Amino acid sequence: MSLTFTGRRTAAAVLTAALLVPLTACGGNDDTKKNSGAQATRSAAGTPEADLTVLAAASLTDVFKTAGAAYEKSHPGTKVTFSFAGSQELAAQVEQGAPADALVTADTKTMDALKNDTGTPTVIAKNRLVIATTEGNPEKVKGLKDLADPGLKVVLAAPEVPVGRYSKKILDAQKITVKPVSQEPNVRAVLSKVELGEADAGLVYKTDAATATDKVDAVEIPDAQNAIAEYPAATLKTSKNAEAAAAFVAWLSTPEAQKILKDAGFQQP
């Protein structure tokens, strides 16, 4: 009897083991498939999925809309939302703790003042100034000296705005005194005044004038009299998407992003 019972017990154990083996194997395959699927999704995207908010200088409005669309296309699952304003306004937002992931300013001075709030900045582009006039340049503005004409309505950016500082720098260097009819909070506001005919001329970035060729003319300023604007980009330490933010900032220096910036008239860093 004991031998028979033992034999039956052994047979049952073998049968149970035989049934469990394929079930365990199937479970392992499912896990493997799930893991490899997750890795494939990350590999295809290149970065974790995230909704990024990027604070960017007003002069980047048009080009960054194009750049953002290109980035989202090559990084499925990532959405980039931009908030455009004068660099000094963006700095105030950062200091007040506005929720954002990255910052791009139109000068290094503003970025450097935020070094405790940002990662290490990288210059992604450069720009230069031109004189924007109303379409057809009816006042026949030929250069910086013409802006001193008291009969000419000139609009400039406020001195705390990067383009305002650049404007003051080049005017002071040429010992030219200009009494603007208004001082605006960002370069797009300066351009708008000229577009609307509320001013005869204004100092703006070359790339901004290029966005309104049907409404304004651009008078070139010689290199020896001009100023070069640098655009640094950096992640924000308060970002809740640190890895994705770093990936976007790094992408701005890639050939794909640099071509978009160059096509918009920006200079290489």
Q: What does the pLDDT read at residue 48?
A: 72
pLDDT of residue 121: 98
Domain that includes residue 69, residue range: 50-126+230-263
- Angle subtended at Cα 160 by Cα 92 and Cα 218, rounded to the nearest 5 degrees: 120
Q: How far apart are CA 22 and CA 195, in angstroms?
A: 75
Instruction: Please report whether residue 99 resides in a domain.
Output: yes
Residue 16 to residue 5: CA distance in whole angstroms = 16
One domain, residues 58 and 120: yes
Strands in 9-141 per DSSP E = 50-57, 78-85, 102-104, 122-134
The pLDDT of residue 24 is 35
Do residues 238 and 220 both lie within one domain?
Answer: no
Which residue in 175, 169, 130, 128 sits closest to 148, CA to CA? Answer: 175
Q: What is the model's pLDDT at position 170?
A: 98
Alpha carbon distance 220, 64 (integer Å): 24
Tokens of 7: 């034999």
Report yes or no on 74 lying in a domain.
Answer: yes
Per-residue DSSP letter, 230: E
Same domain, 165 and 218: yes
> In this structure, are 91 and 132 located in the same domain?
no
Q: Are strands 201-205 and 154-157 parallel, antiparallel or unpaired?
A: parallel
My answer on whether 98 and 166 are in the same domain is: no
Number of domains in the chain: 2
Domain membership flag for residue 18: no
Residues 147 and 198 in one domain: yes
- Give per-10-residue mean pLDDT for the chain (269 aa): 41 40 38 37 58 97 98 95 97 97 98 98 98 97 98 97 97 97 97 97 98 97 97 97 97 98 97
Position 46 scores a pLDDT of: 57
Q: What is the DSSP string of 107-146?
A: SHHHHHTTTTTB---EEEEEEEEEEEEETT-TT---SGGG
Give 19: exposed, middle or buried? Use CB within 10 Å, 0-12, 13-18, 19+.
exposed
| 6 lies in some domain | no
- Same domain for 138 and 256? no
Q: Are residues 162 and 205 in the same domain?
A: yes
Q: Is 156 a member of any domain?
A: yes
Could you tell me if 188 and 58 are in contact, meaning their C-beta atoms sit under 8 angstroms apart? yes
User: Does one domain contain both 217 and 132?
Assistant: yes
Kindly state whether residues 177 and 57 are assigned to the same domain. Answer: no
CATH for 156: 3.40.190.10
Residues 99 and 143 in one domain: no
Residues 190 and 155 in one domain: yes
In a domain, 184, yes or no: yes
> Which positions ≥6 away from 154 have C-beta within 8 Å?
147, 178, 179, 180, 181, 199, 200, 201, 202
